Amino acid sequence: MAKLKFVDTEMKEAIEEQLGRVNHQTAALWATDCAEHILHYFEQKCPQDNRPRKAIETGRAWVRGEIGVGEARKAAFEAHAAAREATDHEAIAAARAAGQAVSTAHMFGHAIHATTYAVKAVTYATNFDAVAVANERTWQYQHLLGLMKSIG
C-alpha cells in the first residue's frame, strides 16, 4: 500500500494573496485563530500538556501589545517541544500550528506556516479526507476576509 502524502489545496494561493494585504498584528491574530481552530486534535491526544494553548494565548498577548517578541519566541519553542514529544501525527501538526502562530510575532511569514500545519492536522485526523482539508482552508480564508473587513 502506498503511503499517503499531504497535498495542500489551491486555496492556499488565494490566502497568501490576501495575507499580503494585512498588517503584522492581523496576520498574527489570524494565525492564532487558525491554530486554535484545530487545537483540539492536540488536546485530545495530550490533555495534560497546555504548551500549545499557552502559545496561542501568548500570540494574542503580543497582538494586544502586552508582551514583546522575546516572550513570544519562548512560547513558540515550548509549543514545538510539545510537538516533538507528541506521537500522533495530528497532535504533532496541531502543536506545530500553535508554535508557528506565535512565531508570527517574530516574523510575519510564520502565519502561513501555522495555517498549513493546521490543515495538516485536519489531514491526519481525517485520514486524508480531501473535503475536510478543503473545508479547513475555506474556513481559514473566510476568517481572514472577516478580520480584514472588521479592521477596515
- Quick one: pLDDT at residue 6? 67
pLDDT tens by residue, the chain, 152 residues: 567 776 666 889 999 999 999 999 999 999 999 999 999 999 999 999 999 999 999 999 999 999 999 999 999 999 999 999 999 999 999 999 999 999 999 999 999 999 999 999 999 999 999 999 999 999 999 999 999 999 86
- Quick one: pLDDT at residue 86? 98
- Quick one: pLDDT at residue 7? 64
> Mapped to the 3 state alphabet, what secondary structure does 29-85 carry?
HHHHHHHHHHCHHHHHHCCCCCHHHHHHHHHHHHHCCCCCHHHHHHHHHHHHHHHHH
- Quick one: pLDDT at residue 3? 72
Task: Give domain limits for the chain.
Answer: 23-151
